[in-house]
Chain A
Amino acid sequence: GSAMGQQPASVPQFCNSPTMIVMVGLPARGKTYISKKLTRYLNWIGVPTKGQFLNIKYRKACASAALKDVSAYFTKEHGQVAVFDATNTTRERRAIIISFAKERGYKVFFVESICEDPEIIAENIKQVKFGSPDYVDRDIDEAMEDFIQRIECYRANYMSIDDEKDRKLSYIKIFDVGSRYLVNRVQDHIQSRIVYYLMNIHVTPRSIYLSRHGESELNLSGRIGGDAGLSSRGQKYANALATFMRGQTIKDLKVWTSHMKRTIQTAEALGVQYEQWKALNEIDAGVCEEMTYEEIQENFPEEFALRDQDKYRYRYPKGESYEDLVHRLEPVIMELERQENVLVICHQAVMRCLLAYFLDKPADELPYLRCPLHTVLKLTPVAYGCKVESFFLNIEAVNTHRERPVNVNINRNPEEALHTVPDHI
């Protein structure tokens, strides 16, 4: 017998049976916020997850249609987790879901959001409801009043998960946006990870700044990897970054770097405390470390082609893949969720992985995200997503972005392979 009867994964299998995550709670309790965030996180760590099923806020008939979609997602699309975002406020509705899941051997995990703080609820409503088509062209106050009425309709029939009657269910109750949690019967690894994630996220406004190190000596000669220092332009960037960050007037900024000289040199220019994370080190190119793309083509043409075929899963000989990178960056993401204002000074491949997490980019887009040198990305969570502002600090640098060439065949000729290599010395 061999490994698991399927492609050996580079990360362990998280769950055997598919899992349904069922959101519970009155409107404007952050259910959609949580669903979307959780879906994004699970997909990023490699667990195929879907959060968008039929919008079934009102009728029982629609509910069964949505459940059919869930079933199709698991069986036909090989999904592993389905996040069922609806109010699911009655025991009856939840019972339907439970029996549906039981029949098919799906696990169920409930996530209930409970909040009675009127300020938080009002803020929720303003942030996300007033974009909805129902409210276009209406007076905000009137709309708010209208929405609060809608909530009251649900409240009449709302039955929170009962800690006694429902003690056999697996669930987490989140109180007041995370000041308290009740966790019951976590069944497996994926549920444990979900609980850990939910307990680390927060809604306090903040910004995350992502930047690469300043241009390095190896960048100039078109070589990948290594542990070189900054070029003179790179040093200029470091100083420009310091000026820029000061201009942002941020409260309690944390600064993180990798263990590589070029990110640390960049941080040094800021004149503030910074923390070094080995997990933020650039992707390990193994035998290709410090080579130019031309040299890789010459010495390892087959490897070079394989990389172009599947840049996300391709692992350098004695090195890493983007997939490995995501795995080692997960604790960084978890800590970024816990933190508030942070500046992360890292590397191209690393920044692509982090960006893909925040902007919900799939695995095949991730390795081609544009993360040029000398550009700071400011990410600010807003509504259900992330606002991105890009700041090029006006210091010239080489381009290190290599697009996927047209011909990715192992038998291609060198010109086809090197067609998209950016210029260098």
Chain B
Amino acid sequence: MLDNEEFLLDNAPRELTQNPLRKIWMPCKNGMPAVHIAQRRVCMTNCPTLIVLVGLPARGKTYISKKLTRYLNWIGVPTKEFNVGQYRRECLKIYKSFEFFRPDNEEGLKIRRQCAMAALNDVRQYLSVEGGQVAVFDATNTTRERRGTIVKFAEQNGFKVFFVESVCEDPDVIAQNIVQVKLGSPDYIHTNTEEAIEDFMKRIKCYESSYQPLDEVLDRDLSYIKIMDVGRRYLVNRVLDHIQSRIVYYLMNIHITPRSIYLCRHGESDLNIKGRIGGDSGLSARGKEFASRLRKFIQDQNIKDLKVWTSQMKRTIQTAECLGVPYEQWKSLNEIDAGVCEEMMYEEIQEHYPLEFALRDQDKYRYRYPKGESYEDLVQRLEPVIMELERQENVLVICHQAVMRCLLAYFLDKTADELPYLKCSLHSVLKLTPMAYGCKVESVCLGVEAVNTHRNRPEVGIAGTKQWPRLFPKPTGSVTLDSFMWMSHKKKKKAENILRISVFIRRN
């Protein structure tokens, strides 16, 4: 007997139907989806996970929280960070001085405890009610007692807990941290630099005496990673599941060495000029001009040890060749596979596959081309690229429109909804430089004309509304996309034809 069995009452195999948007085969009964048991990819967690940061102020906790949250969301794990300092600011309104954080300040302690509780409440809301999978609890959490409270809270709610401790005694790193993110904090907005630094150092002192770092013996039953000296050394204890393993791997690959990442597309290609998507064509004359200007641009940037990466498609390789430096080809950087629509013009897709075209506009992120890929698939195949980008320092990535959108969305924390509509024009270079908690973006246009390949989000109308036009007079109103999906083949054909006609009418 298999433990997790659910015996079907009859032995007839369930019919399978393919979701028209994502091209995923799912069981169905009587034309409607049956109990949904198949998932798109490996389940990251069974129960939600609470990641708890630990460490003195200015140890990079918020930096780690934000970065980790951004990464997890990008790979498709709904994650949210909860910064207790924010709660404190909302409560106090005005920050006076480090005195608030003194260990003998009863009033201060009370407020801080309340803020932590309020944050935990919101965590509970997010994980248990709103469908979040990971919550990142960003606070000092420097005492065993506080951590004990959190563990108990997690147990009561069925959350797994994973601690991330940052330990660092290097005064240069701490100073750098203070200058980069503390001086600009709302707490110090009305204070001059010297006073701010002095106050902040005293603030750190308030925590030091009661700091109980995670202990190899006392805390041996907890799951945690201890990051020492900004990643020089790690102690990892009791990794419980897949998501914790991925988190550990990610945290062990990130660094804070200053560097820049340059993103650009290949030079304009022959298929670009013809308005066709995909394919594997070479550069147009203008594309070649771009490549030579790119060479000059890179030389002028005077970058130390620049790595250059391309896809395995001719147009990116041709672009890199002009640079005259070694480059690495990554198949994972290949453009999105448009399947049956490869090398078609949008007008042709509209004509031959109007339904597909409409579905794509419906949900461009999840839509998978027949025999092709979706943006969602792209993100999954780009994950190792992102991981290696995190490890590297200065890199120039010469890629493609959809690919560049995915990478950009990772660095600029864009949602799945925005991602497929990010503007990534031909012949311009984006220079991304990590700064404070985010990324500075500089866009450089190299002054070579090119076709525009960007298709905006379509306006509300036939293609893009949640409601379909009244295809079949239904007493309850218009047919929704959901019910459309489970219609019989004959009905779908009819709907498609109606769609074709109405598009034709609109156009003319």
Q: Which of B246-254, B267-275, B405-413 contacts A (4 or more CB under 8 A)?
A: B246-254
> In the complex, what's the smallest C-beta–C-beta distance from B335 to chain A, in angstroms?
12
User: B237 contacts the other chain (Cβ, under 8 Å)?
Assistant: yes
Q: Interface stretch among B32-40, B481-489, B490-498? A: B32-40
Q: Knowing A183-B233, A278-B377, A324-B331 are in contact, say whether A246-B388 is a contact too (CB < 8 A).
A: no
Instruction: Kindly provide the distance from the CB of B293 to the nearest chain A CB, expressed in whole angstroms.
Output: 18
A273 and B16 form a contact (CB under 8 A): no
Give the complex CA separation of A277 and B42 in angstroms: 7
Contact (Cβ within 8 A) B237 A259: no
0/1 interface trace, chain A 237-257, chain B, CB 8 Å (1 if under): 011000001100111110011
Contact B232 A185 (CB under 8 A): yes
Chain B residues with Cβ below 8 Å from A195 are 252
Contacts A13-B328, A275-B41 hold; do A246 and B1 have CB atoms under 8 A apart? yes
Within 8 A of B (CB), among A260-280: 260-261, 264-265, 268-278
B422 CB within 8 Å of chain A: no
> In the assembled complex, how far is the CB of residue A218 from the closest CB belonging to chain B, in whole angstroms?
14
User: With A10-B331, A12-B388, A192-B391 as given contacts, are A1 and B325 in contact (CB-CB < 8 Å)?
Assistant: yes
Scan A114-127; emit 1 where CB is below 8 A from any B CB, else 0.
00000000000000
B73: chain A residues at CB < 8 Å are none
Question: Among the listed stretches A142-150, A174-182, A393-401, which one makes contact with chain B, having 4 or more residues with CB under 8 Å of it?
Answer: A174-182
Question: Chain B residues with Cβ under 8 A from A257's Cβ?
Answer: 38
**A26–chain B nearest beta-carbon distance, Å:** 20
Which residue of the partner chain, among B13, B42, B312, contacts A235 with CB atoms under 8 Å? B13
Known: A181-B236, A183-B233, A251-B3. A274 touches B16 (CB 8 A): no
Q: Tell me, in angstroms, the Cα distance from A184 to B234 when the chains sit together.
A: 6
CA distance A326 to B196 in the complex (A): 54
> Closest B-chain residue to A335, C-beta based?
B42
User: B90 at interface (Cβ–Cβ under 8 A)?
Assistant: no
Asked if A200 is an interface residue, CB under 8 A from chain B, the answer is yes
- A272 / chain B contacts, CB cutoff of 8 Å: 2, 4-6
Q: Judge whether B457 is part of the interface by a CB distance below 8 angstroms.
A: no
Q: Are B236 and A277 in contact (CB under 8 A)?
A: no
Q: Is A2 an interface residue (CB 8 A)?
A: yes
| A256 to B41 CA separation, bound complex (whole angstroms) | 9
B125 to chain A, nearest CB (A): 28
User: With the chains together, A2 CA to B322 CA distance in Å?
Assistant: 9
Q: Which residues of A contact B330 (CB under 8 A)?
A: 11-12
Contact A273:B391 (CB < 8 A) given known A182-B235, A184-B233: no
The interface residues of chain A lying within 8 Å CB-to-CB of B16 are 229, 261, 264-265, 268
- Chain B nearest CB: distance from A348 CB in Å? 19
CA distance A251 to B236 in the complex (A): 28
A205 at the interface (CB under 8 A from B): no
Which of A11, A192, A276, A327 touches B24 (beta carbons < 8 Å)?
Answer: A276
On whether the beta carbons of A4 and B27 are closer than 8 Å, the reply is no
Determine the distance from Cα of A319 to Cα of B355 in the docked complex, in whole angstroms: 26
Q: Could you tell me if B2 and A246 are in contact, using CB atoms closer than 8 angstroms?
A: yes
Within 8 Å of chain A (Cβ to Cβ): is B472? no
User: Which A residues lie within 8 Å of B43 (CB)?
Assistant: 275
Contact B388–A183 (Cβ < 8 Å): no
Please measure, in the bound complex, the distance between the C-alpha atom of A273 and the C-alpha atom of B239, giving whole angstroms: 25
* B248 nearest CB across to chain A (Å): 7
Please state if B3 and A253 are interface contacts (CB–CB under 8 Å).
Answer: yes
Q: Are B2 and A277 in contact (CB under 8 A)?
A: no
Chain A CB within 8 A of B14 CB: yes
Q: For the complex, is A296 an interface residue (Cβ under 8 Å from B)?
A: no
The reply to whether A274 and B37 form a contact with Cβ atoms under 8 Å apart is yes
Residues of A contacting B253 in the complex (Cβ-Cβ under 8 angstroms) = 192
Name the residue on A nearest B8 (C-beta): A271
Q: How many residues of A contact B (CB 8 A)?
A: 62
CA distance A229 to B280 in the complex (A): 32
Q: Is B95 part of the contact surface with A, judged by Cβ < 8 Å?
A: no
A3 within 8 A of B: yes
Q: Confirm or deny: A220 has a beta carbon within 8 angstroms of a beta carbon on chain B.
A: no
Contact: B325 with A12, CB < 8 Å? no
Are B252 and A183 in touch, CB under 8 angstroms? yes
Chain B residues near A189 (CB, 8 Å)? 388, 391
B431 within 8 A of A: no
Interface size class of B (residues with CB under 8 A): 35 or more
Complex contact A268–B39 (CB within 8 A): no
Residues of A within 8 A of B417 (CB): none
Instruction: Compute how far the CA of A309 lies from the CA of B6 in the bound complex, rounded to whole angstroms.
Output: 48
* Assembled-state Cα–Cα distance A324/B337 (Å): 15
B245 at the interface (CB under 8 A from A): yes
Please tell me if the beta carbons of A250 and B2 are within 8 angstroms of each other in the complex: yes
Interface check A133, CB cutoff 8 A: no
Contact of B2 among A2, A182, A183, A253 (CB under 8 A): A253
Minimum distance in angstroms from A277 CB to a CB of chain B: 6
The smallest C-beta distance from A198 to any residue of chain B, in angstroms, reads 11
**B333: min CB distance to chain A, Å:** 10
Question: Is B380 among interface residues, defined by CB-CB distance under 8 A?
Answer: yes
Contact of B329 with A196 in the complex, beta carbons under 8 Å:
no
Q: How far is the CA of A246 from the CA of B4 in the complex (A)?
A: 11
Given contacts A185-B233, A261-B25, A335-B242, contact A273 B37 (CB under 8 A): yes
Say if the beta carbon of A156 comes within 8 Å of chain B: no
CB <8 Å contact, A252 and B3: yes
Contact between chains at A245 and B242 (CB < 8 Å): no
What B residues does A184 contact at CB under 8 A? 232-234
A136 within 8 A of B: no
B190 contacts A by Cβ under 8 Å: no
- B353 contacts A by Cβ under 8 Å: no
Contacts of B331 in A (CB 8 A): 10-11, 324, 327
Q: Please, how many angstroms separate the alpha-carbon atoms of A235 and B24 in the complex?
A: 20
Closest to B381 in A: A328
In the complex where A12-B330, A195-B252, A327-B331 touch, is A180 in contact with B380 (Cβ < 8 A)?
no
Contact of A338 among B2, B245, B280 (CB under 8 A): B245
Interface string of B411-442 (1 = CB under 8 A from A): 00000000000000000000000000000000
A1-B13 in contact given A12-B388, A182-B234, A264-B38 (Cβ < 8 Å): no
Task: Give the CA-CA distance A239 to B324 in the complex, in Å.
Answer: 59
**Which one, B216, B220, B252, B380, contacts A186 given CB within 8 A?**
B252
Let me know if A9 is at the binding interface, CB within 8 A.
Answer: yes
Closest chain-A Cβ to B289's Cβ sits at a distance in Å of: 20
Closest chain-A Cβ to B367's Cβ sits at a distance in Å of 15
**Min CB distance, A379 to chain B, in Å?**
19
Residues 14-52 of B at the A interface (beta carbon under 8 Å) = 14, 16, 18, 23-25, 27, 37-43
Q: When chains A and B are docked, how far (Å) is the Cα of A256 from the Cα of B38? A: 10
Flag if B239 contacts A199 (CB, 8 Å). yes
In the bound assembly, the distance between CA atoms of A324 and B331 in angstroms comes to 8
Instruction: Name B278's closest neighbour in chain A (CB-CB).
Output: A318
Is A1 in contact with B234, judged by CB distance below 8 angstroms?
Answer: no
- B4 surroundings in chain A (CB, below 8 A): 252-253, 272-273
Could you say which residues of chain A place their CB within 8 Å of the CB of B25? Answer: 259-261, 264, 276
B236 and A268 contacting across the interface, CB-CB below 8 Å: no
Contact residues in B for A196 (Cβ distance below 8 Å): 245, 249, 252
Top 3 closest pairs, chain A to chain B, by CB: A181-B236, A183-B234, A184-B233
**5 A–B pairs (Cβ distance < 8 Å), ordered by A:** A180-B220, A180-B237, A181-B237, A239-B11, A268-B27
Task: A9-B329, A273-B4 given; name 11 further pairs at CB < 8 Å.
Answer: A3-B317, A13-B328, A183-B233, A184-B234, A199-B239, A252-B3, A265-B13, A275-B42, A276-B41, A278-B380, A327-B331
Could you tell me which A residues sit within 8 Å of B by CB distance? 1-5, 8-13, 167, 179-186, 189, 192, 195-196, 199-200, 229, 235, 238-239, 245-246, 249-253, 256-257, 259-261, 264-265, 268-278, 289, 318, 324, 327-328, 335, 338
By a beta-carbon cutoff of 8 Å, the part of chain B in contact with chain A is 1-8, 11, 13-14, 16, 18, 23-25, 27, 37-43, 216, 220, 232-239, 242, 245, 248-249, 252-253, 280, 309, 312, 317, 321, 324-331, 342, 371, 377, 380-381, 388, 391
